[in-house]
């Protein structure tokens, strides 16, 4: 969950790496550091944001054309200067940065302590680095060989960048379970956790696979597996523009990404949905359509916001495709002994495509004969490569840690897939299929109309900013949206919030209701509408504050609610993709009103690449 950057070439490395760290800061912002090679290793690191590191380096020697940098989300050891990366080996001749967790670090550390090694930090990274140096000193050979031997003995996940004073024009990298992309320039190379630090300099990249080691020099890139066999680098062209990772005049990335949703949803639909002809073409699933249609069961695996998208998909797939669906937390699924049959369909949902628990879960299911479908945003990511079939969401880079446009992109992609499968199975009529296609095509325009209410939502947020708790309620397709609304509020404003099915409110949460508790209802028109209005009455009878997301033309709810947010009407299957937008804006404005860092909420990181 950390961000790593490396550069080797003819440029001064510091500006390249520090800018790259700023672009990766959404992956971790507890501390940051940089190591430069120039007649030795110059090491600078600081607890706090990359800006703190930048201020710390003012006036210091920053010369050097090879460097590695790191922005940290703490795992082993609290955020501190000492625990910040890079780390130096005992001899001071090696420096390393690391994204991941070494699970057997304690036994390795005990052995190294007996050999006389001393440690300056509490991190597993410093243990691994000294383990590599110990092998290097005692086994002979070169650093690459020492790294290879070490990685065969460690347990856990890692992406490593390693430099040594003896070879100032070389970075050695390795990965297992944590992403690494290498940008190819003219007599220079760029290394990073994702492509955002690289796109400014080159569009040609290589995605390093698990269990590969990269030897990177200005004019050479060598890939090898752990058996020391050379691998052929596969060069990919980046479909990414620099302006997509800048704020573009918005105060925060989160607000920018909320307002990008009319375009990003359209990008997901473009070339796939033809509403006029009533057709859907998703190239990533066409070759597996028959196998998917024959599946006796679909298991959706995801984490966090993606899990909520999976819950929406469960409702949609069971309604339209008539296939049983289970939705699993990847972190639970991977450690159970789940029953997976040959031919079961697994749908893995992940914005980054690098979520560690999800990757392990689908690898396990694939071994048991399941067909793996990936719904991911990042092209070339691990989940996209493991999957046999799937669809990209085409949401573009999402920098804000709390997911917004990636969530609606996931919903759009899942709707396309569900409707395509349903029509292939003939579980919906041609007329219903065309109706859903037309409704889905109208979503980008309706999202634009919702965003026009930004100022009125901001006023509601102002009235809620001092709340200590909140309750989100919805029924049917809107229950997962209530969960997502509660999660956003927790992430962004640090207000404790719960999401519940509205009918379950009477089985416990109603005990919390008083005049101080805001209750946010997702109450757009569907078959449950009269029942959810009754639930509002129950809250009002107990003096609770009612805020309701409703449809235009609803004349009943405004007479009950304290505040309403009115959005365009849509088919109840399509509605979740619209209903989440006002909840995103509400959470954003409450967070701002409370003085929170909405782009980088405390303790959170964007890509959870460790357990």
By annotation, the residues acting in catalysis are 2, 606
User: Distance (Å, rounded) from C-alpha 114 to C-alpha 95?
Assistant: 22
∠ CA 534-536-540, rounded to 5°: 120
The rounded distance, in Å, linking the Cα atoms of 392 and 379 is: 7
Report CA Rg, the chain. Answer: 25
What are the C-alpha distances in Å from 7 to residues 156, 205, 414, 583?
A: 26, 14, 38, 41
Contacts with 428 (C-beta within 8 Å, 6 or more apart), sequence order: 320, 419, 422, 436
Q: In what order do the strands lie in the sheet with 563-567?
A: 496-501, 469-474, 518-522, 545-551, 563-567
Find, among 123, 36, 129, the residue nearest to 83 by Cα: 123
CA–CA–CA angle 569, 541, 501 (5° rounding): 50
Q: Of how many residues is the chain composed?
A: 611
Residue 608: CB atoms within 10 Å: 21
> What's the DSSP call for residue 150?
H
- Which residue's structure tokens are 């209903």? 579
Q: Residue 302: enclosing H or E segment and its boundaries? A: strand 298-302
Contact 350, 302 (CB under 8 A): yes
Round to whole Å and give the CA distance between 195 and 188. 16
Residue of 426, 366, 393 whose CA lies nearest to 309 = 393
- 196, 203 contact by CB (below 8 A): no
Residues 150 and 326: their CA atoms lie apart, in Å, by: 40
Residues 276, 282, 285, 288, Cα dihedral to 10°: 40
Instruction: Give dist(CA 1, CA 125) in Å, integer.
Output: 14
DSSP E strands in 475-590: the ranges are 496-501, 518-522, 545-551, 563-567
What are residue 372's DSSP bridge partners?
346
At 256, is the secondary structure helix, strand, or coil?
A: helix
Taking Cα atoms as reference points, which of 536, 538, 554 lies closest to residue 546?
Answer: 536
């Amino acid at each position: 969950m950390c961000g790593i950057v490396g550069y080797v070439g003819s440029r001064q490395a510091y500006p390249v790496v520090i800018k790259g760290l700023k672009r990766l800061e959404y992956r971790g912002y507890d501390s940051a550091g940089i190591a430069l090679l120039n007649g030795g290793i110059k090491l600078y690191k600081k607890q706090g944001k990359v800006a703190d590191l930048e201020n710390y380096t003012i006036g210091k020697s920053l010369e050097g054309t090879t460097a590695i940098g790191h922005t940290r989300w703490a795992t082993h050891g609290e955020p501190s200067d000492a625990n910040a990366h890079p780390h130096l080996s005992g001899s001071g001749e090696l420096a390393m940065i690391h994204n991941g967790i070494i699970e057997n670090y304690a036994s390795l550390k005990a052995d190294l302590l007996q050999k006389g090694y001393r440690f300056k930090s509490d991190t597993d990274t410093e243990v691994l680095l000294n383990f590599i140096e110990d092998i290097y000193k005692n086994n002979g050979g070169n650093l690459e060989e020492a790294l290879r031997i070490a990685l065969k003995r460690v347990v856990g996940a890692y992406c490593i960048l390693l430099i040594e004073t003896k070879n100032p024009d070389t970075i050695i990298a390795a990965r297992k379970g944590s992403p690494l992309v290498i940008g190819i320039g003219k007599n220079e190379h760029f290394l990073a956790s994702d492509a955002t630090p690289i796109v400014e300099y080159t569009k040609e990249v290589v995605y390093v696979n698990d269990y590969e080691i990269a030897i990177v020099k200005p004019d050479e890139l060598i890939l090898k597996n752990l058996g020391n066999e050379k691998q052929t680098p596969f060069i990919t062209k980046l479909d990414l523009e620099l302006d997509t990772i800048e704020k573009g005049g918005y105060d925060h990335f989160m607000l920018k990404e909320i307002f990008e949703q009319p375009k990003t949803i359209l990008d997901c639909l473009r070339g796939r949905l033809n509403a006029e002809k009533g057709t859907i073409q998703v190239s990533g699933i066409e070759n597996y359509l028959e196998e998917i249609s024959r599946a006796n069961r679909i298991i959706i695996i995801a984490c966090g916001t993606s899990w909520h998208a999976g819950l929406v998909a469960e409702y949609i797939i069971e309604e339209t495709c008539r296939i049983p669906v289970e939705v699993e937390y990847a972190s639970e699924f991977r450690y159970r002994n789940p029953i997976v049959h040959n031919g079961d369909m697994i749908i893995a949902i992940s914005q980054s495509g690098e979520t560690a628990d999800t990757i392990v879960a689908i690898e396990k299911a694939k071994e048991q004969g399941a067909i793996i479908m990936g719904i991911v945003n990042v092209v070339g990511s691990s989940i996209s490569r493991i999957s046999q079939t799937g669809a990209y969401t085409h949401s573009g880079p999402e920098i804000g840690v709390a997911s917004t446009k990636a969530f609606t992109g996931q919903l759009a992609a899942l709707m396309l897939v569900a409707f395509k499968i349903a029509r292939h199975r003939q579980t919906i009529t041609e007329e219903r299929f065309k109706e859903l296609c037309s409704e889905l095509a109208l979503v980008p325009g309706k999202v634009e109309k919702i965003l026009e209410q930004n100022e009125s939502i901001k006023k509601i947020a102002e009235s809620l900013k001092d709340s200590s708790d909140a309750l989100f309620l919805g029924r049917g397709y809107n229950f997962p949206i209530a969960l997502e609304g509660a999660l956003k509020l927790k992430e962004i404003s640090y207000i404790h919030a719960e999401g519940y099915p509205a009918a379950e409110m009477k089985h416990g949460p109603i005990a919390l209701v008083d005049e101080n508790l805001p209750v946010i209802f997702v109450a757009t028109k569907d078959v449950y509408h009269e029942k959810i209005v009754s639930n509002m009455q129950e809250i009002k009878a107990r003096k609770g504050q009612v805020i309701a997301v409703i449809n235009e033309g609803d004349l009943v709810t405004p007479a009950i609610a304290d505040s309403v947010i009115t959005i365009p009407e849509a088919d109840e299957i399509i509605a979740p993709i619209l209903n989440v937008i006002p909840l995103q804006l509400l959470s954003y404005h409450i967070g701002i009103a409370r003085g929170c860092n909405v782009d980088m909420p405390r303790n959170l990181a964007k890509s959870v690449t460790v357990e």
